[in-house]
Structure 1
Amino acid sequence: MRHLGNIILFFVLQDLPCFLGSSDVQTCEKHQFSCISGRCIPRIWLCDGDKDCEDGSDEAHCWERKCSGFVCKDGGCITRSALCDGRTDCRDGSDELEEACGSIACKRDEFACRSRRCVSLSFRCDGTDDCGDGSDEADCKNCTAGSFHCIQSGSCLPVANLCDGTPNCPDGTDELDEVCGLPPPAAPSCSNSEFRCGNGQCISHSWRCDHSQDCADGSDERECDQNECLQNNGGCSHICVDQPLGFVCDCPTGTRLVRDTQCEEIDECLDADVCSQLCIHFNGTFTCDCHAGYLKSPRTGECRATGEMALVVFSGSGGVRRIDTSGLEYREMSGGVGGPGPLAVHTANRSVYLGNSEKGAIYRMSLDNRSQEPVLVLDGLGAPVGLAVDWIHGLLYWTDGSTRSVSVALLNGSKRHVLISRLSKPTGVAVEPLLGFLFWADSGSSSRIERASMDGKDRMALVTSAIHSPVAISLDMPRGLLYWVDSGLRTISRVGLDGQHRKIVVESNGYLDRPFGLAVFEGRVFWSDKDTHSLCSADKHNGSLFSVLLSNISAAGGIALVHSALEPNGYRVCGRPGQLCPYRCVPRFLSSPEALYFSCVPPAESSIVDHNFSSPEQVLPDTTSSGLLSLIVVLGVILTGLLLWWWRGEGIPSRTLILHGNISLKESQDPLVPIKCLETCPLKDTLIKVDIDSD
């Protein structure tokens, strides 16, 4: 009788709505439990011995723990393996409902089986049961000559509607590049540590001749009776040791082997991962410190940014909203454009940029003024999926899923320019303008994370192996690390900006089922998840101290952190690594040939540039004034040479270190400070190392 009463109580609790301080009825999310009082709590708090509901109804619900599998809505119990297997095991069918199974997130070129398996679209209606439940062979029609077979739906489409610019098949396969004859994206170049198969596929060199066919065409197991070390050193970065069967790579002392072929220097600080920012290792001990603008917490040792509290801005189907990192201040910013699109923030201008894939546009809105309508910045785009703001040069970078490219424009949307094209499936993008780096992720057939200079040149791959679907990237600038979230592997990882010191920091925990946005700040990593409708955070070193900052987000989208410390100023490279500009670095766009380049403008030209370029959101001067500017530069160099000749002739005994501007060593946020640079200077020859004082 008592068990029957508990079952009745369970149904009452499941159907009772939550009243969150409002007269409107609002039900709790599927991963939450509804207290009798109306409060919504996470279901993982059930039966933990603590009364999290004021009325104790979360502990009265503990009869459910007797079922070690899945509890049906009618109170029945089935094994977890029977959940969402395509067969109804609960008498009420609740084990096969979408709320229990979630939506099937198959790729565009895949067919979603009823068995929850994702198979290639080419398997649809091929006469073979590839799904295991026959759903890929159901409702198939034999299309006659002069018609096109819509693979996902099985319907037939007249050839006249094929490749007409409008998707007529429900899955849009009638407009795919491979159907319409458009050239496929260029095959990615294999790195030195990879072997290129005969079909262009890239695999690890260590997989060659291991008696296991890894290339689809089997070319990795051909011509194996040779010394592999004689060809490209076997792909080993240092030492290649030939063996009777294959070969192995080895490393010198002080380095270690990673990814079977590469040797990287051992970084004791990154291995220990105990410091939030600066780290000094000496005799087995670690000393931690913080960059300028941060203070070290005496309790945890974490570097905390000084000044205002940081905000988390995120998008969803309800528009753009913001919440502080303590979770106490939660506000709506704008619902005018809506959609769970990518976000980027320009903290200094208090502006938020939002990409909308459905409208093919990018909007700007005020971070503080809720009543202001979003401003259209760019339109006519394909599908913006990643955004990044270069606060130093006043540029906006974005990735486009339709054009498969990385592009750039001024913050007002003018001077639009494609930097990187012919990608497979670009997603996240990030910039580090103080170092001159541009980063992007590609989650196509050969998923990877790449880096280039900010003008799109000097392209190189950072991550190419053990990566599935990187959907977002973010930078931890104080540590020089790049983080990415992988929706396929359900992990968050990080790597150095040179591609070394890779590490997984957060593994699947029930809140990484379908991540979308990612951000890093202070000692934590933040992400949004579509399946759990939540905004979460965890320790950036090891994923500990997991926390749900906000739940009940409708169609969670991109996120961005807002704090002045995330936009540091200082001496910076001018668009490309290795070139330092002690003055003002200005981006310039050429129309013929189409290109972006960066120019270091000395004080003699500042008034001319300021007259034509008073803010990053105005159009830059065109190249017709380049001759006048060059003349001024030449005269400035000649005058400087005469002054130096006169100065040395006077025989001044001491050589005082002169820094341009009024910046002192203590104020510098960049440990590399230039000495007597009058133009864009080679980085190696003109820098000295300075100790950073973070007080």
Structure 2
Amino acid sequence: MSLYYLDILQGTVRSCNADGSDERVIVDNIKTLPDGIQVDDRPGQGWIYWTNMGTSPDTPDGSLSRCRLDGSQHEYIVQPGATITPKQMQLDVDFGFLYWCDREGKAIFRAKLDGSDQTRLYQATVSTEPESCAWCVGVAIDKANNYIYWTQKGPSKGGLGRIFRAPLDRAAQSQDSLQAQVVFEHLPEPIDLEIDEDGKHLYWTDRGDVPFGNTLNRWSIQAQATTTALAGQAIIATKLHEGIGLALDQKSKHVYVSDLLGGLYRYDWDGGNKKVIFQDAGNLTGIAFVEPGA
């Protein structure tokens, strides 16, 4: 079992065993603020994918990269400027797609695994709210129920964050075709998302202010729910330090979380039994869990 994770300031792609041993630097000297990561370790594949936010939020030069599991064949698959500020990404190997949120682009995109056929699935808009209320950050694919979920984080610590979802045709979704439904609103600052493989629970990190921010959260999914109330939301872990990355170990029912102050943690499915894997390990963003042969 392996973890792959990113350090945004050191500009590295790293890996380690699930207990933190055998830490390795796979790619270094990334100057473009890596944020979201996914791994395809299927036989004949063996790629690490990640998003690059770009040189600064004011410069539209975001991109997507990939390399082999050993760090070789490092290449762009979405060229700088084809997306503005890409954040969390998800991999759908069944249909051969990558999904990602574009923060300043206020959008959700999908492309094939080689970066071709890039399609914008959703374009957020703002009216009287702060522009950041349209910033799309986290994304997750509910394969069991055929939904896509995403976060629009709102201003920092602002209590205006929202989680949306929309029905998803994983084979043939067309341009700007997602019909957004609000799942939660008035969240401190929701960031990354994950869904268990049975489509029973949605997990997310929130980096807003305490007591409801800097938390790990879990919600029991009801596929037809349309409520915007917080009923069903559960804060299952607290005291993160700008919580960002999120990954699930479906077999062992563990949740892995990273934060910007360099923490990497493991929790049980319900948020209990916290284990510190790393502390002060840099400035961590996205993480991915890989079960060999899964």
AA aligned to 1:311 is: S
* Residue of structure 2 in register with 1:675 after alignment: none
Give 1:268-279 correspondences, 5 Å limit: none
Contact 2:41 2:47 in 1 (8 A): yes
Measured in 1, the distance between the counterparts of 2:293 and 2:206 equals: 27
Give 1:122-201 correspondences, 5 Å limit: none
Per-residue CA distance 1:572-627 (angstroms, 9 max, x = gap): xxxxxxxxxxxxxxxxxxxxxxxxxxxxxxxxxxxxxxxxxxxxxxxxxxxxxxxx
* Residue of structure 2 in register with 1:414 after alignment: 116
- Structure 1 residue 453 and structure 2 residue 174: aligned? no
1:493 to 207, 217, 229: 217
Cα RMSD of the aligned pairs, angstroms, is 2.0
* Residue of structure 1 in register with 2:149 after alignment: 439
Aligned CA distance change for structure 1 residues 356 and 340 (closer, same or farther; 3 Å): closer
2:2 to 292, 304, 311: 311
AA aligned to 1:353 is: Y
Aligned residue pairs, count: 249
Q: Which has the higher contact order (CA 8 A, sep 6+)?
A: 2
1:483 to 203, 207, 213: 203
AA aligned to 2:275 is: S
Per-residue CA distance 1:34-69 (angstroms, 9 max, x = gap): xxxxxxxxxxxxxxxxxxxxxxxxxxxxxxxxxxxx
Contact 1:526 1:535 in 2 (8 A): yes
AA aligned to 1:453 is: P
AA aligned to 2:190 is: P
1:544 deviates by 2.4
- Structure 1 residue 366 and structure 2 residue 74: aligned? no
AA aligned to 2:110 is: V
Give 1:671-682 correspondences, 5 Å limit: none
Measured in 1, the distance between the counterparts of 2:52 and 2:163 equals: 23
Q: Alignment partner of 1:464: what SS?
A: strand
Measured in 2, the distance between the counterparts of 1:382 and 1:463 equals: 26
1:565 deviates by 7.3
1:327 deviates by 2.1
Give 1:499-510 correspondences, 5 Å limit: 501-508=232-239
- Structure 1 residue 402 and structure 2 residue 112: aligned? no
Per-residue CA distance 1:278-317 (angstroms, 9 max, x = gap): xxxxxxxxxxxxxxxxxxxxxxxxxxxxxxxx21110012
1:336 deviates by 4.7
Give 1:630-649 correspondences, 5 Å limit: none
AA aligned to 2:278 is: L
Q: Which has the higher strand share?
A: 2
Measured in 1, the distance between the counterparts of 2:89 and 2:66 equals: 12
Per-residue CA distance 1:217-268 (angstroms, 9 max, x = gap): xxxxxxxxxxxxxxxxxxxxxxxxxxxxxxxxxxxxxxxxxxxxxxxxxxxx
Gaps of 5+ in 2: 55-60, 126-133, 226-230
* Residue of structure 2 in register with 1:426 after alignment: 136
Aligned CA distance change for structure 1 residues 478 and 434 (closer, same or farther; 3 Å): closer
Aligned CA distance change for structure 1 residues 421 and 485 (closer, same or farther; 3 Å): same
Measured in 2, the distance between the counterparts of 1:479 and 1:431 equals: 9
Measured in 1, the distance between the counterparts of 2:272 and 2:293 equals: 24
Identity among equivalent positions (%) equals 24
Measured in 2, the distance between the counterparts of 1:386 and 1:319 equals: 16
Q: Alignment partner of 1:329: what SS?
A: coil
* Residue of structure 1 in register with 2:47 after alignment: 351
* Residue of structure 2 in register with 1:341 after alignment: 35
1:564 deviates by 5.5
Aligned CA distance change for structure 1 residues 432 and 366 (closer, same or farther; 3 Å): farther
Per-residue CA distance 1:203-224 (angstroms, 9 max, x = gap): xxxxxxxxxxxxxxxxxxxxxx
Give 1:605-684 correspondences, 5 Å limit: none
Contact 1:397 1:407 in 2 (8 A): yes
1:340 deviates by 4.0
Measured in 1, the distance between the counterparts of 2:191 and 2:53 equals: 15
* Residue of structure 2 in register with 1:78 after alignment: none
AA aligned to 1:355 is: T
Per-residue CA distance 1:57-98 (angstroms, 9 max, x = gap): xxxxxxxxxxxxxxxxxxxxxxxxxxxxxxxxxxxxxxxxxx
AA aligned to 1:447 is: G
* Residue of structure 2 in register with 1:546 after alignment: 274
Contact 2:107 2:124 in 1 (8 A): yes
Aligned CA distance change for structure 1 residues 501 and 477 (closer, same or farther; 3 Å): farther
AA aligned to 1:537 is: R
Measured in 1, the distance between the counterparts of 2:73 and 2:25 equals: 13
Gaps of 5+ in 1: 1-309, 567-695
Aligned CA distance change for structure 1 residues 329 and 320 (closer, same or farther; 3 Å): same
1:545 deviates by 1.7
Per-residue CA distance 1:443-466 (angstroms, 9 max, x = gap): 11641111112334343222224x
AA aligned to 1:464 is: E
Measured in 1, the distance between the counterparts of 2:34 and 2:235 equals: 26
AA aligned to 1:352 is: I
Contact 1:475 1:519 in 2 (8 A): no
AA aligned to 2:266 is: S
1:350 deviates by 2.2
1:530 to 257, 260, 268: 260
* Residue of structure 1 in register with 2:58 after alignment: none
2:185 to 433, 446, 464: 464
Aligned CA distance change for structure 1 residues 515 and 415 (closer, same or farther; 3 Å): same
Per-residue CA distance 1:546-590 (angstroms, 9 max, x = gap): 111123422211111112576xxxxxxxxxxxxxxxxxxxxxxxx
TM-score (norm 2): 0.78
Per-residue CA distance 1:139-158 (angstroms, 9 max, x = gap): xxxxxxxxxxxxxxxxxxxx
AA aligned to 1:441 is: T
Contact 2:137 2:152 in 1 (8 A): yes
Give 1:202-217 correspondences, 5 Å limit: none
4+ residue runs over 4 A deviation? none
Q: Alignment partner of 2:148: what SS?
A: strand
Q: Alignment partner of 1:558: what SS?
A: strand
AA aligned to 2:52 is: N
